[in-house]
Amino acid sequence: MSYLVTLIPGDGIGPEVTDAARLVLEATGVRFDWDVQDAGAAVLEREGTTLPERVLESIRRSRVALKGPITTPIGTGFRSVNVALRQELDLFAAVRPSRSLPGVTTPHPAVDLVVIRENTEDLYAGIEFERDAPETAGMRETLRRLSGFEVPADAGLTVKPISVYGTRRIVRFAFEHARADGRTRVTLGHKAGIMRFSDGLFLDVAREEATAHPDIGFEDVQIDTLSMRLAREPERFDVLLLPNLYGDILSDLCAGLVGGLGLAAGANLGWEYAVFEPVHGSAPDIAGTGRANPLATISSGAMLLRHLGERSAADAVEAAVRSVLADGRVPTPDLGGRASTTDMAEAVASALFLEGPVDSS
Ligand code: NAD
């Protein structure tokens, strides 16, 4: 039996790191039927869009995808493919683990936390009004009438919707994920004192939901205080539950705590579909040089294997990643070495066998 999986190589270092992940996933012995779908800058000229419908159709068929990073051109009016994918497929939960790893020296050697980020609402919902556009004048007028608030005539606007429905499902997801992952405490980050009706709602709904999960601890911390505490004592945190924007920012921060973006894996999950991708972007500064660290994408692949029910293969990939890092023979430049993307992928694939055979039955 083989698994149908959509593979989106992406832009910049995307094709290099997804090739590396594919090599390792195939080395586990689990069989894949890859449906390769280009998206992003690479197809814009050819197809007039960065996210062709065929990509969404492929994921609706396969229900699961491995995705490389995709460039979002700044200021061109193109909607981010990443945001669009999450919204079109209702991938409402981003799951981004940050764990200290052997052989990767950091100031905090005992970090083991997971960021659960709401993925569809908040300032990333895409409700925007451009400076000087006629609709923006209409919004200014409406806001003046409804609240007496005078928005400056030269302002652009981005709206921050946070709903009860959207919050309730991510909060439940966070508690259920905590329980399934053997975790004991959820910490919610917010700025409810300032944004009372968006962050305030997120906090109120979460507090209410938390009472239904007495076996898991719950606390809330203002997002600025949380950032400071993460820098000082990250090992004290277990599950971080965050609205979209804070989740985006703090997941990079947490990646930095355990060795950088080259190591940070992620999943975007909904009721029906799952898209696995590294936290990092397309890294145009190193694209095509063979210097990208593939471990974030390989580890995202391990999460994909677990999602497919291939637990022993997932465990084997994670053990192989740890042993390659502990061994320290093939660090890529971001980890202070000179190894290439392919060197590292091959080392992980070889370590799979040293770690013992994978039972993919
Ligand atoms: P980035 O994550 O691409 O790069 C930030 C820094 O980290 C760069 O110095 C880069 O070289 C380094 N880096 C990233 N991944 C690495 C890896 N695997 N190995 C070694 N070094 C690595 O962030 P950016 O430069 O802000 O964004 C570049 C583009 O990627 C933008 O267009 C952005 O919108 C897009 N982006 C896409 C996604 C996604 O597809 N999910 C996520 C973030 C950013």
Mean pLDDT across 330-357:
89
Nearest CA to ligand 1 atom 6: 283
Report the pLDDT value the prediction gives residue 212, as an integer from 0 to 100: 96
Ligand 1 centre distance from Cα of residue 213 (Å): 37
Let me know if 112 is a catalytic residue: no
Say yes or no to pLDDT of 360 above 60: no
Separation between Cα atoms, residue 275 and residue 278, nearest integer Å? 10
Q: What percent of the chain has pLDDT over 90?
A: 89
Q: What is the mean pLDDT of residues 221-227?
A: 98
Kindly give the distance from the C-alpha atom of residue 282 to the centroid of ligand 1, in angstroms, as a whole number: 5
Look at residues 210, 218, 216 and name the one whose alpha carbon lies nearest to residue 167: 210
Cβ atoms of residues 293 and 341 within 8 Å: yes
Query: Among this protein's residues, is 248 annotated catalytic?
Result: yes
Q: Rounded mean pLDDT of 155-172?
A: 98
Determine contact, residues 293/324, Cβ cutoff 8 Å. no
User: Is the pLDDT confidence value at 344 over 50?
Assistant: yes
- Answer yes or no: 224 catalytic: yes
173-220: per-residue pLDDT in tens?
999 999 999 999 999 999 999 999 999 999 999 999 999 999 999 999
Separation of CA 203 and ligand 1 centre (Å): 31
| The amino acid at 49 | T
* pLDDT category of residue 356 using cuts at 50, 70 and 90: low
| Residue appearing with tokens 């593979």 | 7
Q: Is residue 6 over pLDDT 70?
A: yes
Interatomic CA distance for residues 160 and 123, integer angstroms: 4
Tell me what the pLDDT averaged over the chain comes to. 94
Catalytic residue among 3, 124, 246, 273: 124
* Mean local confidence (pLDDT), 13-38: 97
Location of structure tokens 């370590």: 351
Query: Order of strands, edge to edge, in the sheet holding 274-276?
Result: 32-36, 3-8, 64-67, 274-276, 267-269, 93-99, 112-118, 239-242, 185-190, 217-222
CA of 278 to the centre of ligand 1 (A): 10
70 CA: nearest ligand 1 atom: 40
Which ligand 1 atom is nearest residue 73's CA?
Answer: 32
Q: State the distance from the centre of ligand 1 to the C-alpha of 167, rounded, in angstroms.
A: 28
pLDDT of 252-284, one tens digit each? 999 999 999 999 999 999 999 999 999 999 999
pLDDT tens-digit series, residues 314-329: 999 999 999 999 998 8
Q: Give residue-wise pLDDT tens across range 30-84.
A: 999 999 999 998 788 899 889 999 999 999 999 999 999 999 876 666 678 888 8
Confidence class for position 14, pLDDT limits 50, 70, 90: very high
Q: Ligand 1: residues within 6 Å at CB?
A: 13, 17, 69-72, 82, 261-262, 277, 280-286, 292-293, 296, 334
Q: To 10 degrees, the CA torsion angle through 18, 24, 27, 28?
A: -110
Q: Is the dihedral of CA 207, 82, 139, 148 positive or negative?
A: positive
* Catalytic (active site) residue 67: no
Task: Write down the pLDDT at residue 80.
Answer: 83
Residue 143's pLDDT is 96
Stronger pLDDT, 81 or 28, i.e. the higher one: 28
Q: Which of 11, 122, 248, 334 is catalytic?
A: 248
250's tokens: 């703090």
* Closest residue CA from atom 37 of ligand 1: 281
Where do we find the tokens 């609706």?
A: 60
51's CB contacts (< 8 A; 6+ apart) are 39, 81, 84, 85, 88
Q: Please give the single-letter amino acid code of residue 5.
A: V
pLDDT at 354: 66
Q: Could you tell me the pLDDT band of residue 361, with boundaries at 50, 70 and 90?
A: very low
pLDDT tops 70 at residue 355: no
Atom of ligand 1 nearest to the CA of 278: 41
Ramachandran region, residue 155 (left: φ > 0; alpha: ψ -120 to 50; beta: rest): beta
pLDDT confidence of residue 329: 85
